[in-house]
Amino acid sequence: MKLRTEIQLNKESYLINYDSNLVLFGSCFAENISTKLAYYRFNYLLNPYGILFHPLAIENALSEILNKKIYTQEDLYFHNDLWQSFSHHSKLTSENTDVILQTINNANSIAFESLKKATHVVISLGTAWVYDFLDTNKTVANCHKISQKKFNKRLLTSNDIEQSLQNIIALISQFNPEIQLIFTVSPVRHLSNGIAENSHSKALLLTAIHKIITSKNCYYFPSFEIMMDDLRDYRFYKDDLIHPNELAVNYIWEKFKKCWIDDKLLPVMDEVGAIQKGLMHRPFNENTEKHQQFLKNLNQKKAELALKYGIQF
């Protein structure tokens, strides 16, 4: 008896291995995937602008990074005793302008170099709802809990999103034509806008993505569909009933791995996983001969992986 509508996925052509370099932009889904990449010691850079939810914010971030924008105090906004940027997530804030400017500009420099050598870029879209700051009429990445009276809320059209994604493709392909672009829609539901409004938003994102993935080096990974049509149960959600829980994240990662990770790496990833578990082990007594031998074996395995695959712990 068949009890699930499991999504069938094919292996992609340009697979991720330990020589690959990934850059991830976007919503919480990008953060979830990055935890797996970190655990298995892949080379990646995550969200240099912090979590970004909509395509215009990601497009703006890429444009600023690739054009080597240098932030100054004029690019910042002071609110609740904090300096912040409307192009960045709230985690990039500071009471000191020098600190936040150094953080932002350093992140831009690192992102530029990462994109220069990147093999894969993951774009995870969360919503089609955006906010325009009325003082400047500029679409922001984050409202930073500033009064909603200062913003105009609007829903991007499918054409708006498609154009933004085309701009993203152009920016990346002109800078580094070897990059493989993986688009996905985050399965996290944005219910602050309403349930029907969230569905409308996700539909617009999906419509636009499916119009552009015919472009060279562009792909779609169905994380949204895996959550909504395959798992499709509240036992796969956290207590807030909005975010995928650890079980769901692990399941989606396995699907991503099936599509994008070279099968030759699976035994190596098992070795990395065994080492990670060993590193997390906390003995009752660190000074025993048995534990010292355990550490010696662990270090030997780490050295072997570093020599063969360049994997660093």
Judged against a pLDDT cut of 80, whether residue 18 lies above it is answered with yes
Q: How many CB atoms lie within 10 A of CB 240?
A: 10
> Taking the complete model, does pTM exceed 0.85, yes or no?
yes
Which residue, chain included where needed, has tokens 């914010």?
Answer: 57
Asked whether 70 and 139 are in contact (CB, 8 A), the reply is: no
pLDDT band at 164 (very low <50, low <70, confident <90, very high): very high
pLDDT 10s digits, 213-232: 999 999 999 999 999 999 99
On the question of pLDDT at 250 being above 90, the answer is: yes
Q: Which amino acid is at 211?
A: K
CA atoms within 13 A on the CB side of 229: 9
Mean pLDDT of the chain: 94
What pLDDT score does 264 carry?
94
Distance CA(132)–CA(155), nearest Å, equals 11
Q: To which residue do tokens 């500071």 refer?
A: 94
- The pLDDT tens digits of the residues spanning 54-82 come to 999 999 999 999 999 999 999 999 999 99
The string of DSSP codes covering 225-237 is HIIIIII-SGGGB
